[in-house]
Structure formats: C-alpha cells, structure tokens
Structure 1
C-alpha cells in the first residue's frame, strides 16, 4: 500500500543562520510550531534532493521512541529533514487518510514497538515497516475515517496559517520599515545596567539583537506595560514526586504539550499529591516552557483549550492567567511567542548553563507593547481563531483514530481498545 524509505545518514556541517540549508530534526518535525534552529552547509549535504518532503507523505520516527507518526505540513517543506524519520508514501492517494489514522492507533503503535531492535536506543528499518500489516475494514468505513482524518489535517494547516498572519501583522507593527536586527556577538551597554535587576550579570540579557528588538518595541508602541499589569497572575508550581498508574489522570509533560496532538503515554495518581488542583490544565490559560535550551522550547507559549481540561500538567511550566479586560489572550500569546520580536525578549531572562531556566519574577517584568485597540484586536482575532481551529482539528483527529481502532477491533474480534502507557503494550 505504500513505499517506505529512508535517506542516507547525514552528517551536517552547521553554518551561521540564514547562510546554508534550513534543517529540522526529528523532534522538531513533531512540534506544533516547528522553527528552524540550524542551517547546514549546502556543499556538505549529499543528495540534497532526497532530504526534502512532499505534502502527501507520512513521517514515522525510527529511532528512540519509534512508531510515532505525523503528517507533512507547510513548515516542513523546502527544508532539509533528518534521516531519522522514515518516509511513507502511499501508492494510492485515496488510501492516505486511512493509512494516517490507522498508523496513529494504539494497535499500530504496538506493532511498531514489537518490531523495534536495539538496546539503549531502539531502531526501526524500512523493511520492518514494509512487513507490518494494514488492517482493511470495509471500504465505506475506511473512506469515512480517512475523510475525517484528512479534514482534521486541513483544519490544522488553516490554523497555522492564521497564526502566521497574526505574527506578520505584529512584525509589521513593530518594525514597519524592516530595519535589520543587529546580530553581532558583542554589544556595548551602560555600566549602570550591570548593577540593577535579577539578571544584570547574564551576558544573554545584554545581547545586541535583543537590545535592538527592545528598542524597536519601545519606539513602535504607544506605551509598554510589564506583563504583570495586564494579566491576573504569573506563577509556577512546586516540584513533586510522581506516582504513575494505568487508572490515573492524564499527564502531560512540557514537551508533549508543544507537540501535535500527542497520544496519552502516562497517567498520574493525582490524589496522592498535595494541592493537586494547582497542576491541572485549564482552558483559556497560557503556559510557558520554563526549562530547556535557548534555541529549543524554552520560553515558548501556548493557549490551553478544552482538550486540555482535566489533564495534569508538569511543574516545568510557567502558568499565565490572562485578564481579558486588560489585554486579550491571543494578543499576549502572539507578543510573547513571536520568533523575532517576542521570544528573544523572554529568553534573555534565562539563567543556568547545561539546562537554562526561566522564573516567574522575571517573566512578570517582560514588557508588553500597547497599540490602539483595533490593531490589538486584529492580531487577537487571528490568533484566537487559530487556537480554536487547532483544538477542533485535534478533536476530529482523535475521533478518527479511535474509530480506526474500533474498526480494527471489530475486524479482528478483539474486545475493547488497546491502550499503551509508557512502554507497556
């Protein structure tokens, strides 16, 4: 039903941003907002034409946590993609939706995990996947499930385009003339700036590009307000000892929350923890990744939706409760998360060496530019519609995957759905 292949192993040579071929790793491909972090020297990428993706392919992880599946989105196109993902190309386009939904089911995931080999780092080869069975219920069932799965993917693509429009409007508002941002490795600052503030001796706080962005933000806006003035709270929960079990509450790590509609892999016994309610995820609130690499998830934000309600969130999140009477949630999300004019102003507060961290007292001080209500509403409308549409896409995809698993159960005579928790099958 499909061709499965993998490009040759790639040993890339990294160059300065924008001066080579944009590259995405396996983990980035699964993110809901993949962003290029590395550029590779073009002359050192053999057979570069085999490194690019097509929109009608399916991608599957083949090392580490094998068996994860994702579609190809616009953010993946025209970029060098790691060899650590198998390319699955349906031979008949009509089978795409069913194959995608089927390969997202716990049943197929169990098949993939049972085929892996290796000790510390698990692996799958194309030949392993080619031999995996594809369940084939009645054509009407496959067509219905496939249509729902493809509709969910179209909705998700539309949501990403809406947020991209919001980002473009914000960028044009901050820097209408397109003034280049200084990216030199050194900067000159006043000595007085080194004797005030919690991060006064952190070199990253005084980076030339961040200082330029701060200058643009102040010049373009009517006024600026620290984040704490336009939200109800910015907090972080304490660390806790985890008690996992099959019958517990859905648990979401920070990295999972920023992936595309991840499957439930862990459940936690929330009743065994003190103040468990403070860790629950609530629709309408914002979360920010508070640890990780400065080029990775650190400092990214997302708006929680009704799909997250009832889930238990990691303590590795900064919780931001918006105040709609002061600033709309979609506007704040765009301001804080913008790749050029937002997130660098957040990440500058990071401290630490091997794993940098952010702290609520610093995030409360991030300056929010204020414009006329029409402009802020225009940005917020697009961002909030993107959040709504993405949430609806996740629900439709989840329903399609469940329907596929139920169809497999009916076809094979298995009673009930197959659930996976961690490495248990």
Structure 2
C-alpha cells in the first residue's frame, strides 16, 4: 500500500458502529480490527481501572503561564513534545505559586502520558525523575488504580498496536487535531493474567534504566565541570535584555552582540582557563567534524530499498520513530548515515531552541540517517567521543556552540567555525573516566528501549494468541 495515498473498502456496519462518522480516520487506523479482536478477551473499560482526579483520565488546566528562570522559584514544566525527550534538563520552569494553585498540573510516577493535540497518540511512561514536574494541557494523564491494574502493563497496552489505533480513532478537528479524555474513557482493556505482571516488570525496568542513564550523564557533566574548574549554573536571573560592555578588539572577527555577550564571554573564559591548566586542542584535531551538504530528499515506500530517515527533533527523543525511508544511495552519497557513538548537534534554529544542543547516537539508530541540518562529531576513540559529548553538554560548552551561530532570521552553525573551536583536552585518564560514564548511559538507554519494546511485544503476542 502506498504510504502517501491509501484507499479501502469497508462494510456499512462499520459506519453504524462508529456513530456514522464519514471521515477516514476511524476506519484506516486499524481501530475497528483491534476492537473486534479484543472482543474475544475479557475486557474492562479504561475508566473503571483509573483513579485520581476527574476519574483518572484528564488534561491539565488551561491558564496563562508565568515562567521563571530556575528551580528556586519554579517547577520544571513539560510540554507535549518534552514528555518524549530523553533529556529533561533544559525544560522551562513554571512559577511554583502557579503550580501550587493548580494541582492538576503535577505529574505522578507511573502515569501514562498521551499527546492529545496536534500529533495524537504519542506516549510516555512517567518515570520517578518526572514525579512532581508540571505539564501542559496538551497531553492527557491516565492515572491507573494500582489496586486493579499495574501501571506498566496499562502503558504497554495503550502504546501497543492495539491501544494506539483505538486512541487515535477518536481524533477530531480539521486543522489542529485533538482528542479529549471522554473519547478514551470506554476504551477496552484486556485482562491478560500473568502477562500483565511480566509487562509491568519490563516497563519498570525500562523506566529505572532511563533514570539511571540521566543520572550518569548529569554526574559526568558535573564531575567534568568540577575537574575543569567551571562554575555550575545557578539559574541566576539574567538581564532582559542582556547588556554588556566589551573591548573593541572583540569586534574584529564578529560584530554581532550575542557573540560578545557577557554570558558567552564568561563561557569562553572558563574554557580558556581550563585549557591553560589541562592543555587544549581544536575540536577538529581530535574528532572528525562535518555537516552534510543540502540534498534532495528521495523517499522510498519499500524499506528494503532505503534506510530510516529522522528529522532533527526526533533524534532527541527517548525512542525515535519514523515512517520515512530515504533512498540508500542518497544516504551514502551525502554522508547522512549514523553510527553508534556519533555526536549530533542541531545546526540551525532559534538561539533559545535546540541549536547547539548535543545528542549521542544510540545503537538503535546505528545505520539510520538523519537530516543534514545536524553537525556530526566523531572521534576515533569511543571514550574520547564520550568525553567530547560531556564537554559540549556543559553549560559553557553549549553556550560556545550557540555563540558560533550566525544569521538574522534562522541562525546557522558553520562547519569550519565548529572545527576551530578551542576546547580543553585533559590527560587520557580524565577523558576515559568521563567517557565511560557517558557510554554506560547510552547503553542503559538502549537496554531500556529494548525492555519497553519487549513489554509491548509480549502484550501484543498474548492478545493475538488468546484470540485464536
């Protein structure tokens, strides 16, 4: 079936059973087939298995947001795309006073979070490191009643190929699509006996490993910052706008004010101080650095003739997914193929966004391809690549990458300027210790994704076998 155009003949009884809806969504998503298969199992409506406020299936409230600069006066605030991200250290902060006045904003561990506006049906399992964070109204919370059903099993089922189609089938809206809690309240949940506990254990294992991976990365960045003498970010309130006075000599190479802002000058001074003590190198001398050229995106419908293709935003997610396949020869010709351990850096976008943010390619993305709008960085040594990732993930490293962006409308990073970035290059023992923590974190994320996939497969297999 062609990916861009789908057609299907359905029995008229499907129209009757779906409220005479004449839009294609409910009949093309697989929801009808899923419901028919689930009729062969003992099921319970979702609303009878949930607890907490509003019946246990609810959105956050709509309200005017008051953002603050840091944790002293704020609570981490997750949007519908943030819940899917692997790194939650760069999210915005919402006023504590505002969160205290809206308890429905607060997320608890074990909830299933479902995007319900725009792209419908993307899901995340609320881990222990998300407990107490606040969330927007653009994703639903499904709070399981632990006396009736395990949280991990419920998440595995809802995110399976039986749960997702039924959720998506309730979508409405012509321009910006939505789904509301009452649309999934009667969603049938099959009771699968011992398989439920097995799926729950796997999802919990995945959540635990993701929390541990985030801790290892945070520890590696903190350890490196301490060894290099960097001052840690205190989320101090910055001047709005940022105003500073600098020597005219700084303007000889770059005339834009952001490049010479006091925060960026301080970041450069921190790197220079560390270089004086530990030694220095240009980034391009210790790693290969390149940006693929612009190319025509030639997609294929048959995966056997292509490789998975990801956009820049998807690369930062916990479990990147795509339905796009780029022609193999295009991916090879333009150097778009990804390798395990490769560092990717968003090379375009707004300064306050993803530009300059580093992410490391996991084993699951090895051999896939991604947009040319990402800088590739890879050392000959795995541990050195891990060290470089930790260094570029420090507040100072991220600032210096963003500092190199140029352009008034859509800022871009330029390959040669990134290659010539002067970085501290300490002895091998320090680089290895930091790099190993990062590599271990990446392995944990791979293991977590595999455990979650195994939980979904277990649920799907049990449903299929029980329906025979």
Normalised by the shorter chain, which TM-score bucket?
A: 0.7 to 0.9
1:186 paired to 2:220: no
1:254 aligns with 2:312: yes
Q: How far is the alpha carbon of 1:212 from its aligned partner?
A: 0.8
Cα pair distance change 1:349/1:73, threshold 3 Å: farther
TM-score under structure 2 length normalisation:
0.80
Alignment of 1:235 with 2:288, yes or no, is no
Distance 1:350 1:112 in 2: 41
Deviation at residue 179 of structure 1 after TM alignment: 9.0
Shift of 1:177: 6.5
What residue number does 2:81 align with? 27
Describe how 1:111-190 pairs up with structure 2 within 5 A: 111-137=166-192, 139-175=193-229, 183-184=238-239, 185-190=242-247
What are the equivalent positions in structure 2 for 1:12-91 lying under 5 Å apart?
Answer: 12-17=65-70, 20-22=73-75, 23-43=77-97, 47-91=101-145
Partner of 2:32: none
Aligned to 2:29: none
1:127-185 deviation digits (Å, cap 9, x = unpaired): 11222222333x12222222222212211111111111101112222336769789441
Q: 2:265 aligned with 1:207, yes or no? A: no
Deviation at 1:274, TM superposition (A): 7.2
Conserved in 1, the CA contact under 8 Å of 2:344 and 2:360?
yes
Q: State the 1:358 CA deviation.
A: 1.6
Describe the shift of the 1:76–1:356 C-alpha distance in structure 2 as closer, same or farther (beyond 3 A): farther
Q: Count matched residues.
A: 406
Displacement of 1:97 after TM fit? 1.5
How many angstroms does 1:207 deviate by? 1.6
Indicate which of 226, 238, 256 corresponds to 2:282: 226
1:394 partnered with 2:449:
yes
With normalisation by structure 1, the TM-score equals 0.87
1:4 correspondence with 2:52:
no
Give the drift of 1:252.
1.6
Moved more, 229-238 or 115-124: 229-238
CA–CA separation in structure 1 for the residues paired with 2:342 and 2:108: 35
Closer, same or farther: CA 27–223 of 1 in aligned 2, 3 Å: same
Residue aligning to 2:390:
334
Aligned residues of 2:346 and 2:373 also touching (Cα < 8 A): yes
- Once residues 94 and 232 of structure 2 are traced to their aligned partners in structure 1, the CA distance between those partners, rounded to angstroms, is 26
| 1:30–1:70 Cα contact (<8 Å) kept | yes
1:95: which partner in 2?
150
User: Aligned partners of 1:113, 1:346: CA distance in 2, in Å?
Assistant: 39
The SS at the match of 1:377 is helix
Question: Once the two structures are superposed, what CA deviation does each residue of 1:264-303 show, in whole Å capped at 9, x if it has no partner?
Answer: 3313241473744721211122211122332222112222
The question of whether the paired residues in 1 share the 8 Å contact of 2:59 and 2:139 is answered with: yes
Contact 2:60–2:135 (8 Å) recurs in 1 = no
2:344 to 262, 265, 287: 287
The answer (yes or no) to whether the contact 1:237–1:279 under 8 Å persists in 2 is no
Aligned pair partner of 2:413 in 358, 363, 369: 358
Deviation of 1:395 after TM superposition, in Å, equals 1.9
Q: How much does 1:396 deviate?
A: 2.1
Check whether the contact 2:309–2:371 (CA below 8 A) recurs between aligned residues: yes
- Match of residue 419 from structure 1: none
Per-residue CA shift, 1:102-124, capped at 9, x if unaligned? 12223322212111111111111
1:418 is matched with which residue?
none
Kept in 2: contact 1:26–1:82 (CA 8 A): yes
CA distance in 1, matches of 2:124, 2:405: 31
State the partner residue of 2:4.
Answer: none
